Amino acid sequence: MARLFGTDGVRGVANIDLTPDLLVRIGSAAAAFFGTSLSRKPSILCGIDPRISSGMLEAALAAGICAGGGNVTRLGVVTTPAIAYLVKDLGADAGAMISASHNPYEYNGVKFFSRDGYKLGDESEQRLEALIRSTEKPAYVTGANIGAIETDLEAHDSYVDHLVRSAARSFRGVRMVIDCANGASSMISPRTFRRLGAEVYVINNQPNGLNINVDCGSTHPAQLQKAVLEHNAHIGLAHDGDADRLIVVDETGKVLDGDYIMAICGLHMLRKGELHENTVVATVMSNLGLDIAMRKAGGRVVKAAVGDKYVLEMMRREGHNLGGEQSGHLIFSDFSTTGDGILTGIQLINVMKETNSPLSRLARQMQRLPQVLLNVQVERIERYHANPRIALAIDDAEDELLGRGRVLVRASGTEPLVRVMVEAEDEEQAQSVANKLAEAIRKELA
Q: Work out the angle between the directed axes of helices 185-195 and 341-355 (0-180°, nearest 10).
A: 20
Q: How far apart, in whole angstroms, are the C-alpha atoms of residue 149 and residue 418?
A: 40
Q: How far apart, in whole angstroms, are the C-alpha atoms of residue 345 and residue 12?
A: 29
Distinct helix (H) and strand (E) counts, the chain = 14, 19
185 has catalytic annotation? no
Phi first, then psi: what are they for 418, rounded to 5°? -110, 125
Contact between 204 and 217 under an 8 Å Cβ cutoff? The reply is yes
118 C-beta neighbours (distance < 10 Å), count: 18
Side-chain-side CA neighbours of residue 345 (13 Å)? 37
The bridge status of strand 255-256 relative to strand 279-283 is unpaired
Sign of CA dihedral 217, 223, 176, 322: positive
Three-state SS for 83? helix
Q: Which helix (H) or strand (E) holds 439?
A: helix 427-445
Give the residues across from 422 on adjacent strands. Answer: 372, 407
Nearest by Cα to 203 from 219, 194, 188, 190: 190
DSSP 309-333: HHHHHHHHHHT--EEE-TTS-EEET
208 C-beta neighbours (distance < 10 Å), count: 11
Q: How far apart, in whole angstroms, are the C-alpha atoms of residue 190 and residue 167?
A: 15
Q: How far apart, in whole angstroms, are the C-alpha atoms of residue 115 and residue 320?
A: 21
Residue 294 amino acid letter: M
**Choice among 28, 99, 101, 189 that is catalytic:** 101
Nearest by Cα to 268 from 360, 349, 171, 369: 349
Side-chain-side CA neighbours of residue 187 (13 Å)? 15
Q: Which helix (H) or strand (E) holds 114?
A: strand 107-114
Three-state SS for 267? helix
The bridge status of strand 107-114 relative to strand 94-98 is antiparallel
The residues that are catalytic are: 101
